[in-house]
Amino acid sequence: MTQLWNQFIFNPMLNSLLWLYSVLGHNFALSIVVFTLLVRVVTLPFTLSQLRSAKASQDMQPKLAELQKKHKGDKSKLAEEQMKLYKEAGVNPLGCAVPMLIQFPIWIGLYQSIINVLPDSPVQLLSLARHIYLQFSHLLPLNANFFGISLARPFPAMAILVVATQWVLQKMMTPLATTPQQASQNQSMELTMPLVFGMITLNLASGLGLYFLTTNIASMVQQYFVTGWGSLLPLMQKVGLRVSAAGAKEESHGRKK
């Protein structure tokens, strides 16, 4: 299994990253950004399908809540009615999970590539020797310098940037809460995710942090065009930011529902 994973996912991705490094003027930071964006472009159909399914499911929540109320004691009837509702709306209840599952190995491979291509010790370098295509050996060690910091080592400022962008992204991904209970759930999610990614960045190579940062910014752009500002909207209005018609429209739509 490990061999198959290495041969078909990890090794090709790691060496693609090295190839990018060789053609992008030996700039590893730029290589990570371009590599991450390229992978996002490849997985864009899955991402959009996932985002649209998520939004459709959100839009159906009031109707689903009505059904739950109506068929409180009858589970089989409730399931039947829910399926009918999904069918009528043209929404696949697993529409969100399937694209995510397909993308998951790609993201793990990407993560693995970035973390392994910057060996910071002899043991790590030996591990890289097992996966590198030998025509790229002359590129080692990579120039990990990024504005004076080494992308091979942890850097606190990178962790702060990752936490900040992850928090904004979580806000955008979260629909406006309609009940205090939902607001509490949203809040815990909005804090947990950024802190988890912040902790990872703080403890591993900051090159990985750059990957998280690029991913977050790309996700924010995608999220804006599919679902708008999400829970970020009230906050932006509070601080007096002018919000584009698209973002505001999406949100007011979501709230009316």
Partner 1 sequence: MKALKTKIAVVVTLSIVLSGLTACAPAASPTWSSLQVEGDTIYMGSQAGLVFALDAASGAEKWRFPPAAEKKAIGGIYAAPVLAGGTLYVGAIDKYFYAIDVNTGALRWKFPATGRIYAEAVVAGGMVYFGDGDHGLYALDAATGAKKWEFKTGQGVWGRPFVGNGAVYFGSLDHHVYCLDAVSGQERWRHKTGAAVAGGPVASGGLVYVGAFDNKLYCLNAADGSVVREFAAGHWVWASPTIAEGVVYVGSLDKKLYAFDAATGEPRGSPFDAKGMIRAASTYADGLLYVATEAGSVWVLDAGTLQPKAPPFEAGKQLLTSPVVSGGTVYVSALGDILYALNAQSLTQVWPSPVTPSKRK
Residues that bind partner 1 (CB under 8 A): 108, 111-112, 115-116, 119-127, 129, 134, 137-138, 140-141, 181, 184-185, 188-189, 192-193, 196, 200, 204
Cα torsion at 117, 151, 189, 170 (round to 10°)? -100
Q: How far is the CB of 15 from partner 1 (least distance, A)?
A: 15
- Residue in the block written with tokens 């900051």: 206
Provide the β-strand partners of residue 146.
Answer: 149
Instruction: CB nearer to partner 1: give 119 or 254.
Output: 119
Instruction: CB nearer to partner 1: give 4 or 134.
Output: 134
Angle between helices 28-42 and 11-23 (to 10 degrees): 130
E-strand ranges in 42-92 read none
CA distance 106 to 112: 10
Coil, helix or strand for 253? helix
Instruction: CB nearer to partner 1: give 174 or 247.
Output: 174
Instruction: CB nearer to partner 1: give 76 or 121.
Output: 121
CB-based contacts of 139, cutoff 8 Å, min separation 6: 18, 21, 22, 26
Q: How far is the CB of 160 from partner 1 (least distance, A)?
A: 19
Q: How far is the CB of 176 from partner 1 (least distance, A)?
A: 17
- Residue in the block written with tokens 């599919």: 226
Q: How far is the CB of 193 from partner 1 (least distance, A)?
A: 8
Instruction: CB nearer to partner 1: give 94 or 189.
Output: 189
Q: How far is the CB of 242 from partner 1 (least distance, A)?
A: 33
